[in-house]
Chain A
């Protein structure tokens, strides 16, 4: 029997594999997940141009569209994934295996990040070329750090959603739908979040996407943000740790409850 760490890594990488394979074997994602978001950006971009808005605003849009793909992946590829895994019969195989469920979730997150980074990069390249977005970051290193800390917090939240889905059925589905559109507004996907009333912006800061995008916009376009970049990155780092541990605790608690209530093996609920 391999050590706990080796088993964790082995299981996480194994679960990463289907997602990465999907990237190379699925032919339709390029159109669906790159062209369509860029078209959505175009509508706002032309509206900003008509209003003579600062050029950086177009950059906000492109970044927002790229980061939105991560949010969608967190909701549907992490949160709702265990629901699909249960319906396909994979969940019981994972639970029955010696691999910790956190390893499976980590694999899902790594796979999701890998595929979504490719999609997001395609969106950014298309957006920058089409709309001539000015890119002049104050620090590339800070930008990369902000990006990965945002991903850590986002996917930590995704793991938390996934653990909740272990117990809930369609109710959790509704929750995902509920979280999708309002978050676009609260996190300032298509506009600088600083234009929101201060109280709303503070509440929205609990969503990793809000602070993550704000920090990256500050670094990338040298515009003012909600807080200093280092404050936002610290909060995001804290959120990542909190979400990860809550997911770990939640997974154990909810797995126990799901076993008691027979919900690990019940399909189509």
Chain B
């Protein structure tokens, strides 16, 4: 038994765009400059270790490299450099040995056959793992109960809503009883109650067998905070931090954080970041307010921040000191919020 379920060492993945040709018979441009411009580094020397039995999270914005990492670990994509092991087996050399041990669910995936109903689709994907029909049916019923779709089991999947298809795919990941499961945004697009049910099941599933390992990617900070034993913050292909949610939050505690809500049309919040004692600031513009988050080197600097905002004509609607969350950890490490709207103050001003 390998104590490390998932391990990567300086793992990199570069995508190359096809070089354009003027005509199909003409040679593509081959200068070094052109090559560099057409390369995209999705993963940049990622080194991680996930022990067996751990629920490990990957937190990062769109395009951070989370899905690329999962595709490599699930043997669907080859690394450009470095190595990756799943259950001690190399993802390139031992792909065929890894496959019986794993499964993956991607949020928003549209897999399955519209002509078949939910139970038949799940049966099909169980059979390609060699799960006997009787056992597959038993697991399918259990999983349909978990996601509240027992009545929908005989509906063709072409008649399901997006959320229901997402739930079916979630079931698909579990019916093969994988030793190592990869969940890529599993609650994407689900309603609050369903997402809560799924999170509860994930925790229960992990407790059932202690040798199970789960790697979860998510956009939702609260989900990562609730579920993950440890998590890595990843951006632009690099792992910026890796620890338990509690430890990560503790690390960010050294910068007291204030949240200020400003009336629309406020000026001067871009200059806040340059004030003495201010560590970092981010601003999100909504139709009715400008939400400003300011982390400080020295807590008394909040006075200067308020003064600066008021003297530049800003009207402060509310102000509060906030306890650190994973989002604050993210801002601290990445330099901007996870949601696309949250941009560094200096960028938002432009």
Binding site for B on A (CB under 8 A): 1-2, 6-7, 10-11, 13-15, 17-18, 21-22, 25-26, 88-90, 92-99, 103-104, 256, 259-260, 262, 264-265
CB distance from B75 to the nearest CB of A (A): 6
Q: Identify the interface centre among A11, A90, A99, A262: most chain B CB within 10 Å of its CB.
A: A262
Within the assembled complex, what's the spacing in Å between the Cα atoms of A15 and B128? 8
B4 at the interface (CB under 8 A from A): no
Q: Assess A264 versus B127: contact at CB under 8 Å? Given A17-B116, A93-B111.
A: no
Q: A1-B100, A25-B115, A26-B115 are in contact. Are A95 and B128 (CB under 8 A)?
A: no
Say if the beta carbon of B96 comes within 8 Å of chain A: yes
B113:A18 contact, CB within 8 angstroms: yes
A-contacting residues, B101-151, CB 8 Å? 102-104, 106, 109-113, 115-116, 120, 123-125, 127-130
Q: How far is the CA of A50 from the CA of B104 in the complex (A)?
A: 63
Known contacts A21-B116, A264-B76, A265-B77: does B130 contact A89 (CB below 8 Å)? no
Given contacts A259-B77, A260-B78, contact A94 B128 (CB under 8 A): yes
A99 and B124 alpha carbons, distance in the complex (Å): 12
What 7 additional pairs, Cβ within 8 angstroms, besides A89-B109, A259-B76?
Answer: A1-B100, A14-B124, A14-B127, A25-B115, A88-B110, A97-B129, A265-B77
Task: Determine whether the beta carbon of B111 is less than 8 Å from that of A14.
Answer: no
Contact A98-B100, Cβ < 8 Å, known A18-B116, A265-B71: yes
State the majority secondary structure of interface residues on A.
helix
Q: Which residues of A contact B116 (CB under 8 A)?
A: 17-18, 21
Per the bound structure, the CA–CA distance linking A7 and B123 in Å amounts to: 14
Which of B100, B103, B109, B128 contacts A11, CB < 8 Å? B128
Question: Which residues of chain A are within 8 angstroms of B129 by Cβ–Cβ distance?
Answer: 97-99
**A264 CA to B123 CA in the complex, in Å?**
23
A17 touches B120 (CB 8 A): yes
Query: Once the chains are docked, how many angstroms separate the CA of A15 from the CA of B121?
Result: 10
- Give the docked Cα–Cα distance between A265 and B78 (Å): 11
The residue of chain B having its C-beta at the shortest distance from the C-beta of A22 within the complex is B115
Is residue B74 within 8 Å, beta carbon to beta carbon, of the partner chain?
Answer: yes
Interface contact B78-A259, CB-CB below 8 Å: yes
- Assess whether B315 is interfacial by the CB under 8 Å rule: no
User: What is the bound-complex CA distance between A10 and B124, given in angstroms?
Assistant: 9
Q: Are B128 and A99 in contact, CB atoms less than 8 angstroms apart?
A: yes
Q: How far is the CB of A18 from chain B (nearest CB, A)?
A: 4
B15 at the A interface (CB under 8 A)? yes
In chain B between 75 and 110, which residues have their CB closer than 8 angstroms to a CB of chain A?
75-78, 96, 99-100, 102-104, 106, 109-110
What would be 10 A-B contacts, judged by CB atoms less than 8 Å apart?
A: A1-B100, A1-B130, A11-B130, A17-B116, A18-B115, A89-B109, A93-B172, A98-B129, A103-B128, A265-B77
